[in-house]
Amino acid sequence: MDTAQILKIQKELAQRTLEYPAQRHKRLYRLVRDAGWLRSGLNAVFTNRGSHTPGLDGVTKQHVDGRQKGRERLVQELGKELLSGEYRPQPVKRVYIPKANGKLRPLGIATLRDRVVQATLKMVLEPIYLMYFCTNLMTGMYALTAYVQSGHTWLLHPYNIGAEKRLAAH
């Protein structure tokens, strides 16, 4: 499944939510375990600087790319585990980063595998919840409609910081 197909499905999920807000969405898990969606989630994680930071398992982008067909193997492994019900998120690595006032702020770093699944889940659920919770008060249009009409594809880049501010500006 390519990016255009994923964006089309995201738009359909958003439109269905808008048209039938009381209805439940069915069969969302099949999207999460789909290799194309997982591949897109992997790409979203790998475009983030955090892909160089290991979780408790020590795996980084370099480890995955260092294996022969590493990205595809990771996608296939995750898809198989999600399908069989064997997938289990791993514990989060706790680190402390300094704040401007000299104190330390705790930060949890998930494993790369868990970040891929989280990014994929976000891509599936975000268009649904955008319709419920986000409206553009300036124009009265729903946020996703306003953003898609402006030509952006933020939904496919879950780590795009500040997108909400740009959305409100359109």
Residue type, 83: L
pLDDT of 6 reads: 93
Residue 71 CB contacts under 8 Å (≥ 6 apart), including other chains: 39, 42, 46, 64, 65
Neighbours of 106 (CB within 10 A): 8
pLDDT of 167 reads: 45
- Residue 164's closest CA among 149, 147, 148, 150? 147
In tens digits, the chain (170 residues) has pLDDT values of: 788 899 999 999 988 887 887 788 889 999 999 999 999 999 999 999 888 999 999 999 999 999 999 999 999 999 999 999 999 999 999 999 999 999 999 999 999 999 999 999 999 999 888 876 654 444 455 555 555 555 555 444 433 334 444 444 44
pLDDT of 147 reads: 56
pLDDT of 136 reads: 42
Q: In the 8-state DSSP scheme, what is residue 154?
A: G
Domain positions in the chain: 3-162
